[in-house]
């Protein structure tokens, strides 16, 4: 049921977005560029709007968004339920799962951070 609702929501949003891109191309370009500012996509001079803007609301975009949203359904953590066994990438580039790092009865501690 959740996947069906997500399919309907994303499909409707893509249809509306594509329609608006056809009817109001300049306004949608400004809107998409504003979205690009948040992700800093438009800060790279080699990555112009013409390279990525028209891909918004395409069939490939629809499939990608569905894949991400459906995958996130599996990663939902609920209190009192088992933790999701989320895939992670090691520093050597291997794909493992979070619960692969559990050893015996020891608690698994996750430490998140970033470096700039």
pLDDT of residue 75: 67
pLDDT of residue 116: 59
pLDDT of residue 63: 92
pLDDT in tens, 27-53: 988 888 887 777 776 677 777 777 777
Q: Where are the domains of the chain?
A: 1-75
Contact yes or no for 39/45 (Cβ under 8 A): no
Is the overall model pTM greater than 0.85, yes or no? no
pLDDT of residue 48: 77
Contact yes or no for 1/64 (Cβ under 8 A): no
d(CA 23, CA 26): 9
What residues of the chain score a pLDDT lower than 70? Answer: 41-42, 74-76, 114-116
């Amino acid at each position: 049921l959740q996947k069906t609702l997500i399919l309907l929501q994303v499909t409707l949003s893509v249809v509306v977005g594509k329609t608006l891109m056809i009817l109001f191309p300049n306004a949608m370009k400004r809107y998409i560029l504003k979205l690009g500012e948040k992700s800093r996509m438009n800060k790279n001079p080699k990555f112009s709007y013409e390279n990525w803007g028209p891909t918004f609301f395409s069939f490939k975009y629809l499939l990608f968004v569905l894949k991400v949203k459906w995958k996130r359904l599996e990663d939902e953590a609920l209190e009192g339920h088992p933790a999701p066994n989320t895939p992670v990438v090691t520093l050597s580039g291997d794909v493992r799962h979070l619960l692969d790092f559990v050893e015996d009865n020891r608690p698994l501690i996750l430490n998140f951070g970033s470096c700039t």
